[in-house]
Amino acid sequence: MDNINHDDDYLLQKAAMFFSVLGDTGRIKIIKILSEEEMCVSDLAEAIEASQSAVSHQLSILKQNDIVKYRREGKNIIYSLDDDHVQDIFKIGLEHVKHK
């Protein structure tokens, strides 16, 4: 079977979306940091050397795609990776490019 059916098509589209979310320098840096420790927005901004607004927009995209979760703690909002699965994929991707 060469062709791609509609069920496949839907899943592939979701997969492409998922990978494209990982495929941004700013977002992958955020994921890298959150794979080590949870962190609030302003600290993330400082860590990856980006503006608060840029980070917030990126986090919004990561949220929409179930890659990060968050909780409020006083004035801060603490972000962390949504599940270990994301971290696994991130690490595998990193290993892949390391050996290329």
Partner DNA sequence: CAAACATATGAACATATATTCATATGTACA
Partner DNA sequence: TGTACATATGAATATATGTTCATATGTTTG
Binding region for DNA (CB under 7 A): 20, 24-27, 40-43, 50-54, 56-61, 70, 72, 74-77
- Pick the closer one to DNA by CB: 29 or 87: 29
Beta bridge partners of 40: 78
In the complex, the smallest distance separating the C-beta of residue 76 from DNA, rounded to whole angstroms, is 4
User: Among a second copy, DNA, none, what binds residue 50 when CB lies within 5 to 8 Å by partner kind?
Assistant: DNA
Rounded Cα distance between 48 and 34, Å, is: 12
What are the CA-CA distances from residue 11 to residues 6, 7, 16, 20 (Å)?
A: 9, 6, 9, 14
Least CB distance from residue 67 to DNA, whole Å?
13
72 CB contacts (<8 Å, ≥6 apart)?
A: 78
For residue 32, the minimal CB distance to DNA (Å) is 15
Residue nearer to a second copy on the CB measure, 43 or 70: 43
Classified as helix, coil or strand, 80 is strand
